[in-house]
């Protein structure tokens, strides 16, 4: 009840939600009745969760932040949402995002701009900005986002919350609107590591509705954390930590660098073996990512034709319906990505762009594999700066893309990464949070949670 009141109270300033559930209060009262009656409760009974609006929900609209899907109501829940509901969670609403996940500030939503709760004149990050802001402003307890190139980790950093990007294929993508299918993963936000661990447990694991979803066992992330609390004073003794040199150099805010260096020293103090390491392919990630992501998007977004889903504009010839619906429904950034992707895939340019980018992707994967031979985890900033002002980068797509430098490599390699708040820089009424990114080998989310726990 308290959260739901707060959700409505601060929503006019933050604007995290594109849609708020009408039944959440009733569902919460039902849980209260079960508690009063002493009935046995499912693990997430009554936990209020926000869901990014590119994740399908059967009882609420799901627009992907795009006007082309205005009013669209899916006939099914995404697997992650279904599992949350089965565990007793209550979906409080659908959170704002950059259209189809394409952006880094949530200013690219087809509907509204979300404010950063730490400073209302700043962006919450993106594309899962609504999900991060909603947890940060305590409008819900936890939330789901999606991360194709950093969309969970960068907003977690900007909003001062915990954000988890699981290993690619750890969580079913069934019901997640496809942006770049070889990179997309559903992730989660919370205000503590324990919240994120519990949420990850519920949404992870094999799903026959997503043929790419991993069949691997899901460890009990939450339970492992509890047992940690009883350990000795140096729980990370001997853990090899690689601080990625390329992420603390030129172009990165001095305040961000010192917060991350302080975090590294803290780990060392706790018994970790700290190495500064180099990922030689680091700077190749950004161009490769934008070519591959746009290429996949240009194909994935062909399904929005005004016939099968959402808003139809024009009549008569089918080709005219396609043209008008897409011209009207998509925003400028999405159109630009479709054009870039179509160009990169076209005959005559394929070898120079798409194929080359795939080769770079293989190289990046190899560099991470080498680094992981000598290190248990890698650390870096989650973003080169703290949250910036609304409007600051909207006319400069390249500056916006450059802000993804810390996160995109991890998606290209398919690895899991966790962001935890590790300090502040000056700005806003109370300072602006800085996030530490912790990266592990595939399927080692448990390690990330263990290290992240130290920063709480």
CB of 287: closest distance to ligand GLN in angstroms?
A: 13
Which residues in 247-306 contact ligand GLN (CB under 6 A)?
293
CB of 97: closest distance to ligand GLN in angstroms?
A: 8
- State which of residues 148, 172, 295, 409 lies at the interface with ligand GLN (CB under 6 A): 148
CB of 357: closest distance to ligand GLN in angstroms?
A: 14
- Binding window for ligand GLN (CB under 6 A); candidates: 8-16, 144-152, 166-174, 303-311: 144-152
- State which of residues 103, 306, 331, 435 lies at the interface with ligand GLN (CB under 6 A): 103
Rank residues 105 and 375 by Cβ distance to ligand GLN and give the closer one: 105
Per DSSP, 83 falls in state H
Q: In 3D, which of 50, 12, 9, 47 has the Cα closest to residue 31?
A: 47
The CA-to-CA distance between both ends of the chain, in Å, stands at 26
User: Cis ω on the peptide bond leading into residue 407 (within 30° of 0)?
Assistant: no
Residue with tokens 């604007």: 15
CB 280 within 8 A of CB 245: no
**Is 389 among the catalytic positions?**
no
Strand order in the sheet with 377-381: 17-20, 90-95, 48-52, 142-146, 186-190, 162-165, 417-425, 432-439, 377-381, 240-244, 273-277
- 172: exposed, middle or buried (C-beta count within 10 Å: 0-12, 13-18, 19+)? buried
Q: In 3D, which of 250, 271, 249, 251 has the Cα closest to residue 261?
A: 249
Q: Which of 16, 62, 131, 151 is catalytic?
A: 151
Per DSSP, 405 falls in state T
**Is 211 among the catalytic positions?**
no
Rank residues 136 and 151 by Cβ distance to ligand GLN and give the closer one: 151
- Binding window for ligand GLN (CB under 6 A); candidates: 61-69, 143-151, 278-286, 324-332: 143-151
CB of 351: closest distance to ligand GLN in angstroms?
A: 23
Does 147 bind ligand GLN (CB under 6 A)? Our answer is yes
CB of 220: closest distance to ligand GLN in angstroms?
A: 28
Pairwise CA distance, residues 30 & 46, whole Å: 9
Does 105 bind ligand GLN (CB under 6 A)? Our answer is no
Three-class SS of residue 409? helix
Phi-psi region of 169 (alpha: psi -120 to 50; beta: other; left: phi over 0): left
Does 150 bind ligand GLN (CB under 6 A)? Our answer is yes
- State which of residues 101, 306, 384, 452 lies at the interface with ligand GLN (CB under 6 A): 101
CA pseudo-torsion sign 90, 92, 93, 96: negative
Rank residues 273 and 402 by Cβ distance to ligand GLN and give the closer one: 402
Residue closest to ligand GLN (Cβ): 151
**Is 127 among the catalytic positions?**
yes
- State which of residues 49, 404, 451, 455 lies at the interface with ligand GLN (CB under 6 A): 404
CB of 267: closest distance to ligand GLN in angstroms?
A: 27
Catalytic residue annotation: 52, 127, 151
Q: Which residues bind ligand GLN (CB under 6 A)?
A: 101-104, 127, 146-151, 179, 293, 404
């Amino acid at each position: 009840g308290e959260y739901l009141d707060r959700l409505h109270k601060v929503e006019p300033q933050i604007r995290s939600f594109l849609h708020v559930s009408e039944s959440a209060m009733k569902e919460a009262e039902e849980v209260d009745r079960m508690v009063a009656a002493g009935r046995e409760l499912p693990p997430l009974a009554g936990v209020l969760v926000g869901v990014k609006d590119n994740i399908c929900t059967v009882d609420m609209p799901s627009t992907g932040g795009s006007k082309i899907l205005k009013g669209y109501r899916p006939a099914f829940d995404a697997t992650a949402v279904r599992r949350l509901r089965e565990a007793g969670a209550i979906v409080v609403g659908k959170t704002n995002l950059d259209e189809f996940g394409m952006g880094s500030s949530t200013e690219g939503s087809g509907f509204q701009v979300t404010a950063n709760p730490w400073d209302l004149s700043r962006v919450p990050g993106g594309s899962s900005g609504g999900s991060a802001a909603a947890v940060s402003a305590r409008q819900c307890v936890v939330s789901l986002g999606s991360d194709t190139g950093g969309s969970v980790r960068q907003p977690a950093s900007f909003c001062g919350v915990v954000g988890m990007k699981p290993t690619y294929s750890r969580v079913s993508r069934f019901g997640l609107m496809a942006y770049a299918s070889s990179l997309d993963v559903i992730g989660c936000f919370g205000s503590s590591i324990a919240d994120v661990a519990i949420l990850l447990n519920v949404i992870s694991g094999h799903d026959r509705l997503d043929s790419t979803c991993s069949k691997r066992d899901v460890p009990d992330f939450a339970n492992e954390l509890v047992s940690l609390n009883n350990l000795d004073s140096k729980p990370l003794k001997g853990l090899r930590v690689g601080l990625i040199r390329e992420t603390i150099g030129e172009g990165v805010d001095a305040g961000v660098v010192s917060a991350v260096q302080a975090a590294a020293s803290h780990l060392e103090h706790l018994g970790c073996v700290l190495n500064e390491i180099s990922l030689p392919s680091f700077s190749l990630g950004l161009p490769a990512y934008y070519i591959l992501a746009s290429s996949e998007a240009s194909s994935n977004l062909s399904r929005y034709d005004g016939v099968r889903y959402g808003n139809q504009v024009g009549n008569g010839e089918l080709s005219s319906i396609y043209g008008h619906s897409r011209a009207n429904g998509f925003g400028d950034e999405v159109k630009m990505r479709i054009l870039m992707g179509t160009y990169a895939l076209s005959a005559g340019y394929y070898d120079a762009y798409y194929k080359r980018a795939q080769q770079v992707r293989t190289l990046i994967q190899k560099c991470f594999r080498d680094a992981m031979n000598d290190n248990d985890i890698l650390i870096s900033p989650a973003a080169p700066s703290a949250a910036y002002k609304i409007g600051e980068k909207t006319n400069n797509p390249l500056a916006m893309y450059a802000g993804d430098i810390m996160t995109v490599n991890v998606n290209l390699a398919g690895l899991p990464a966790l962001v935890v708040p590790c300090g502040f820089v000056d700005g806003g009424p109370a300072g602006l949070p800085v996030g530490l990114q912790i990266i592990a080998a595939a399927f080692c989310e448990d390690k990330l949670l263990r290290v992240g726990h130290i920063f709480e």
